[in-house]
């Protein structure tokens, strides 16, 4: 950038780019012969000038898009170009309605390019996927072209996955996988197939396609076995992390932990930083659900620090790391800090992906649930409801109506509506309407979860427990008891008698017996069990202890046990002191500024913790 009389002026190169774009129709064919970095700048100029019709047509051509993908240093820019079509097209249409363009201008309202952009990028994404599949069908007899097309499939599938267009990413990667398998059965192509399985498994897990993911998982296991028998070695830390993510999403937490640990063992300094961050993130989540918070905190913090150091605080990978750090904080009872992490992640994703995108929807859902937990005692749930409804709106526009991703966010909204009904609504009719709405959402979510996982699954059990709480609010106490008992039975069978999820359901059943069914001795035993689990996992300052201590004070008042009332009143007051003390010890997560540890240091600390536990 040159400077004249204190004012910035365009460089000669920038002036040249502008001149070419001003005469785009004349130079259109020549653009495609430019070096890739120059070609990228020219198309980016179309983007910044909001010439979306032309840009959409160009990006829909796979030969052009494949060259843009090779400019790896501009990947975040390409994500913005690909994703912001919906926002920019909306601006253009609004401008057109207010001020129609002059006759003879090169803006065409009904051009195919604008149609594709107005469809939130789905036609561009779909066109690329279809074109790639066609290329795969005609190239199998040409080894050189086949290898180039496999590499393109990995890049294109990965990009569409990063963009949140999971359906089209899956189509590309399945075509790529089939092309890999049509080659000679050699270790070289086995490794290419595993690379495809890595990306495909990520897409299928993220989009809840568990049947497809199981096929991909078994294929990967079979190829790993072949490579081992052939004495072929390579680093599959990223693939093992995706194995962990799949098992985590299906609530198979022991397998998730096993594979995340295996992934961490294989991490070394030769791996791409993006893969290392993913290994740390998935490992942190697996440790969280195993309630191993020291390991989880180590991995989650290092994922945030490493992603911020290697990329920047506006990068998609940093947002991913913050989401999983927020998950750790929420489960570790640092709820306010969790909200801050989720808010920052949502801001980053909206800036990159625009408003209508699955990555953004998931961030809205995560924030909605964190806000629900944070405001549980205050009763201020409007902001949480706003984010839940925004997530549902986005997912409903992008997914089939029976998609499993909607089950999770419907559950969150139902929880919020129930609390709004109980805490902020004094009109009985309005309250009943909100509770019925919540029931419909819970039942819909339960149906989707049961169809996918069956009844004996942690996710399904959570829906049983949520219905139990709702029926308690609706004064359907027998139904509430039945649902709580089903939740406890499934969780105990899958997780063991001392898991956090079991303690949660036990505490909810205790509340039902205490406040509504007057079964005080049963309530007493359940409260004591819930307290024991919470103390073991979280210590004396855990937030959930408040409800158990208050519940026991109520029980012993009802049983006229004065000594026990005094004992648990004292414990309740002591709990408040712990909470006030701990509130000053935790720094906001978005303020993390420590230098990331070397990967060998992270591994040494992690496995030292493993040895300490064993």
CA distances from 315 to 309, 349, 565 (A): 11, 9, 53
What dihedral do alpha carbons 496, 497, 502, 504 form, nearest 10°? -140
Residue 9's pLDDT band, with cuts at 50, 70 and 90, is: low
CA distance 227 to 214: 20
Domain positions in the chain = 10-120
Is 70 exceeded by the pLDDT of residue 13? Answer: yes
Q: Give pLDDT, residue 119.
A: 42
Phi (first) and psi of residue 4, to 5 degrees: -125, 120
User: Could you tell me which residues are beta bridge partners of residue 4?
Assistant: 7
Q: How far apart are the first and last CA of the chain?
A: 60
Q: Give pLDDT, residue 58.
A: 85
Residue 584's pLDDT band, with cuts at 50, 70 and 90, is: low
| Cβ–Cβ under 8 Å, residues 548 and 527 | yes
Residue 83's pLDDT band, with cuts at 50, 70 and 90, is: confident
- Percentage, residues of the chain above pLDDT 70: 89
* 232-281 tens-digit pLDDT: 888 899 999 999 999 999 999 999 999 999 999 999 999 999 999 999 99
Residue 111's pLDDT band, with cuts at 50, 70 and 90, is: very low
Q: Structure tokens of 31?
A: 């653009």
- Mean of all residue pLDDT scores within the chain: 87
Q: Which of 237, 187, 195 is nearest to 220 (CA)?
A: 195
Which residue intervals of 316-357 are DSSP H helices?
316-331, 335-353
Q: Structure tokens of 129?
A: 């996927």
Residue 124's pLDDT band, with cuts at 50, 70 and 90, is: confident
Q: Structure tokens of 364?
A: 């809205």
* 274-297 tens-digit pLDDT: 999 999 999 999 999 998 999 999
CA distances from 231 to 180, 462, 553 (A): 21, 44, 65
Average pLDDT over residues 384-394: 96
* 169-219 tens-digit pLDDT: 999 999 999 999 988 888 999 999 999 999 999 999 999 999 999 999 999
Least confident of 154-158, 329-333, 518-522: 329-333
Q: Give pLDDT, residue 399.
A: 93
Sign of the torsion formed by the C-alpha atoms of 441, 413, 486 and 568: negative
* 373-386 tens-digit pLDDT: 998 877 789 999 99
- Percentage, residues of the chain above pLDDT 90: 67
Which of the two residues, 570 and 32, has the higher pLDDT score? 570
Complete DSSP assignment for 10-52: --HHHHHHHHHHHTHHHHHHHHTTS-HHHHHHHHHHHHHTT-H
Phi (first) and psi of residue 11, to 5 degrees: -75, 170
Q: Which of 407, 419, 391 is nearest to 446 (CA)?
A: 407
Is 80 exceeded by the pLDDT of residue 579? Answer: no
Is 60 exceeded by the pLDDT of residue 10? Answer: yes
Residue 585's pLDDT band, with cuts at 50, 70 and 90, is: low
The count of other CB atoms within 10 Å of the CB of residue 505 is 29
Which residue intervals of 357-475 are DSSP H helices?
358-374, 382-398, 405-423, 428-453, 458-473
Chain-centre distance of CA 532, in angstroms? Answer: 32
* 587-611 tens-digit pLDDT: 455 556 678 899 999 999 999 988 7
CA distance 24 to 181: 42
């Amino acid at each position: 950038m040159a400077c004249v009389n204190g004012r910035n002026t365009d460089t000669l190169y920038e002036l040249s780019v502008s001149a070419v774009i001003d005469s785009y129709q004349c130079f259109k064919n020549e653009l495609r012969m430019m070096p890739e970095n120059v070609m990228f700048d020219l198309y980016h100029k179309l983007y910044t000038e909001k010439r979306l019709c032309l840009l959409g047509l160009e990006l829909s051509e796979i030969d052009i898009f494949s060259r843009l993908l090779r400019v790896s240093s501009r990947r975040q820019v390409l994500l913005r170009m690909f994703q912001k079509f919906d926002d920019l097209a909306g601006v253009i249409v609004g401008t057109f309605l207010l001020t129609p363009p002059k006759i003879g201008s090169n803006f065409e309202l009904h051009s195919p390019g604008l149609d594709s952009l107005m469809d939130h990028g789905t036609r561009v994404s779909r066109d690329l996927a279809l074109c790639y599949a066609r290329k795969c069908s005609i190239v199998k007899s040409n080894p050189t072209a086949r290898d180039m097309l496999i590499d393109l499939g990995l890049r294109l599938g990965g990009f569409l996955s990063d963009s949140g267009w999971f359906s089209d990413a899956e189509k590309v990667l399945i075509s790529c996988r089939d092309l890999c398998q049509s080659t000679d059965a050699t270790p070289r192509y086995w490794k290419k197939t595993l690379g495809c399985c890595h990306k495909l498994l990520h897409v299928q897990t993220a989009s809840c396609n568990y049947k497809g993911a199981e096929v991909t998982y078994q294929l990967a296991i079979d190829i790993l076995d072949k490579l081992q028998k052939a004495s072929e070695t390579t680093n599959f830390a990223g693939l093992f992390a995706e194995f962990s993510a799949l098992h985590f999403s299906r609530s198979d937490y022991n397998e998730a932990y096993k594979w995340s640990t295996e992934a961490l063992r294989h991490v070394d300094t030769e791996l791409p930083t993006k893969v290392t961050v993913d290994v740390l993130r998935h490992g942190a989540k697996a440790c969280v659900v195993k309630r191993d918070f020291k390991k989880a905190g180590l991995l989650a913090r290092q994922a945030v620090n490493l992603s911020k150091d290697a990329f920047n605080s506006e990068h998609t990978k940093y947002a991913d790391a913050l989401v999983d750090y927020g998950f750790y904080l929420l489960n570790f009872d640092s709820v306010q800090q969790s909200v801050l992490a989720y808010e920052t992640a949502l801001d980053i994703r909206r800036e990159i992906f625009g408003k209508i995108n699955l990555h953004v929807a998931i961030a809205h859902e995560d924030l909605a649930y964190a806000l629900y937990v944070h405001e549980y005692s205050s009763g201020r749930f409007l902001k949480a409801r706003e984010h839940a409804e925004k997530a549902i709106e986005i997912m409903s526009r992008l997914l089939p109506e029976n998609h499993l991703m909607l089950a999770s966010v419907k559950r969150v909204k139902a929880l919020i509506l129930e609390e709004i009904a109980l805490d902020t609504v004094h009109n009985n009719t309005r309250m009943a309407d909100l509770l019925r709405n919540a029931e419909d959402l819970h039942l819909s979510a339960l149906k989707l979860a049961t169809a996918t996982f069956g009844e004996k699954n942690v996710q399904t059990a959570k829906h049983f427990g949520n219905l139990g709480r709702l029926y308690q609010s609706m004064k359907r106490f027998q139904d509430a008891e039945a649902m709580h008992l089903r939740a406890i039975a499934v969780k105990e069978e899958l997780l063991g008698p001392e898991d956090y999820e079991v303690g949660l359901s036990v505490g909810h059943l205790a509340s039902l017996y205490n406040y509504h069914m007057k079964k005080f001795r049963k309530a007493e035993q359940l409260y004591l069990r819930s307290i024991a689990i919470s103390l073991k996992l979280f210590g004396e300052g855990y937030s959930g202890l408040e409800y158990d201590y208050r519940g026991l004070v109520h029980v012993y008042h009802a049983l006229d046990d004065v000594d026990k009332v005094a004992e648990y009143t004292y414990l309740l007051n002591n709990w408040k002191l712990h909470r006030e003390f701990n509130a000053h010890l935790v720094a906001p997560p978005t303020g993390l500024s420590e230098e990331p540890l070397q990967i060998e240091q992270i591994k040494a600390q992690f496995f030292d913790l493993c040895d300490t536990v064993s």
